[in-house]
Amino acid sequence: MPQPDIHPRDLIAGLQKGLALMQLFTPEQPRLSVPQAARQSGLTPSAARRFLLTLVHEGFAETDNRQYWLTPKALRIGQAYVDSAQLPRMLRPIVEQVARQTQEHVSVGSRDGDEIIHLVRSRYSHIASLSIRPGSRVPMYCTASGRVWLAWQPQAQLEDYFARNPLQPLTPYTLTDKEQLLAHLQQVREQGYSIVDQEYEIGMRVLGVPLLDRSGTLKATLTITTHASRLSIEEMRMRYLATLYEAQALLRPVLD
């Protein structure tokens, strides 16, 4: 949906800064000191301290007077989207149908900045993976969902993406050669699906297709994740691609 033009004078800078500060907490840094928060947010130490203390006052964070960390109450912000947004609710019946047919884990992903965020995942899953939790974020260049999104981008936007995101080898299988990756993305666009074999997480193979609305605009991705020991790449493609295409067709009217 097109976003309205918003004049800077209509924005609340304090809210912007507070939300940005909350997003600094990650699995790699679950706790932040005031100097860390100030340095990473661009705020002064005094302002960062006041924002953090406000989060503590509202119950979204706790502190030991040296470091700050988020509380479970912070989940309410993300849960508000899950509870109120129509798209995840409309997608879930098809996601569960595909999971029953394939007996594999199925999820829907959407782009958020330079990452993929999982909006819906099937209740059925025989695999244990931190990357497929609802709300989890994964890179674009080495995941099936991400490569679908990248394959649908104009060349200029692709170049901007690669300039912002150095290709790091997350596993021994991660493709990190830019020219090879660009050729692979062209293939993804032409064939209409992406398969990633253990490039983001050892032992995980993922098959994904784009979810397009009736105008052909990419709205989300639908993926099946299985363990590498269960199926070869070719077996996965032969067994599950048709099912994903059927779901893709069923979801097209929903995405409008």
pLDDT tens-place string over residues 203-233: 999 999 999 988 889 999 999 999 999 999 9
Same domain, yes or no: 70 and 180: no
Q: Which residues pair with 32 in a beta bridge?
A: 68
- pLDDT of 187 higher than 60: yes
Same domain, yes or no: 203 and 249: yes
Which structure tokens are listed for 35? 């100097």
Residue 68 is part of a domain; what is its CATH number? 1.10.10.10
Quick: pLDDT tens for 131-168.
555 567 899 999 999 999 999 999 999 999 999 999 99
Assess if residue 20 is contained within a domain.
yes
Same domain, yes or no: 193 and 249: yes
Assess if residue 143 is contained within a domain.
yes
Same domain, yes or no: 159 and 34: no
Q: In the prediction, which pLDDT does 19 show?
A: 85
Domain membership of residue 31 as a residue range? 8-76
Q: In whole angstroms, what separates CA 88 from the centre of its chain?
A: 14
Q: In the prediction, which pLDDT does 233 show?
A: 93
Q: How far apart are the first and last CA of the chain?
A: 10
Q: How many domains, in total, are found in the chain?
A: 2
User: In the sheet where 61-63 sits, what is the strand order?
Assistant: 32-33, 67-70, 61-63
Residue 167 is part of a domain; what is its CATH number? 3.30.450.40
Same domain, yes or no: 170 and 247: yes
Long-range contacts of 21-30 (CB under 8 A, 24+ apart): 21/48, 21/51, 21/52, 21/55, 22/55, 22/60, 22/70, 22/74, 22/77, 25/69, 25/70, 30/69, 30/70
- pLDDT of 24 higher than 80: yes
Assess if residue 56 is contained within a domain.
yes
Find all residues with CB under 8 Å of 48, minimum gap 6, and list them.
Answer: 21, 34, 37, 38, 41
Structure pTM? Answer: 0.74
